[in-house]
């Protein structure tokens, strides 16, 4: 197996943890017990998250997973206040993961646990993408989330394309004095 640093392991496990958090926050508790798609998605996401630490000792795995939890909480915090729409954060997370995949930064096998979980996740949040203002906001917030992660040393190699950079500059110009 290829050597992975703790940082790389966090980057691999974090998308699964974030999606799992969105699902737990967005699916009513009574449905969590009865919805087979929810149960399946959670099981697949747990499997995907474990794959990042499977080859480590228990102590090392706990250390990496604690880092994952800290990073997860830090990126969710701005969106978890009273009255915040979990569906919007679900879209933000989707666009973040989409950028990771489209740039080749995050690669997974077709049919893998994370691949199957993403299919279920997309089905659960796609109705939110139909709300154009919410979708546009989620796309912009996704890029800001990427920048916050990069500022803390994660996903440093993730490059944004010219359209994303132009969007960010547009946001900056709108708020400039």
| pLDDT tens profile 102-144 | 888 888 889 999 999 999 999 888 899 999 999 999 999 999 9
Position of tokens 């950028």? 99
Domain spans in the chain, listed from the N-terminal domain onward: 6-175
Q: What is the pLDDT of residue 135?
A: 93
Of 132-136, 141-145, 154-158, 162-166, give the lowest mean pLDDT range. Answer: 162-166
| Continuous H helices in 27-161 | 29-34, 36-51, 58-76, 86-102, 113-129, 132-151
Q: Tell me, what's the pLDDT at 47? A: 96
Around Cβ 177, how many Cβ atoms within 10 Å?
A: 2
- The pLDDT of residue 97 is above 90: yes
Specify the pTM.
0.85
Cα separations (Å) of 109 from 2, 37, 52, 114, 115?
Answer: 16, 21, 14, 8, 7
């Amino acid at each position: 197996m290829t050597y992975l640093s703790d940082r790389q392991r966090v980057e691999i496990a974090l998308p699964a943890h974030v999606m799992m958090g969105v699902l737990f926050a967005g699916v009513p508790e009574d449905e969590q017990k009865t919805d087979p798609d929810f149960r399946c998605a959670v099981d697949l996401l747990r499997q995907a998250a474990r794959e990042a630490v499977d080859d480590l000792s228990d102590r090392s795995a706990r250390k990496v997973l604690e880092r994952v939890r800290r990073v997860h909480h830090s990126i969710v915090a701005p969106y978890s206040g009273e009255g915040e729409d979990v569906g919007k954060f679900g879209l933000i997370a989707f666009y973040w993961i989409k950028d990771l995949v489209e740039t080749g930064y995050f690669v997974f096998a077709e049919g893998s646990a994370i691949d199957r979980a993403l299919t279920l996740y997309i089905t659960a949040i796609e109705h939110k993408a139909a709300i154009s203002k919410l979708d546009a906001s989620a796309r912009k917030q996704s890029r800001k989330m990427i920048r916050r992660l990069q500022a803390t040393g994660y996903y440093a190699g993730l490059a944004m394309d010219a359209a994303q950079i132009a969007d960010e500059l547009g946001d900056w110009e709108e708020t400039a004095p």
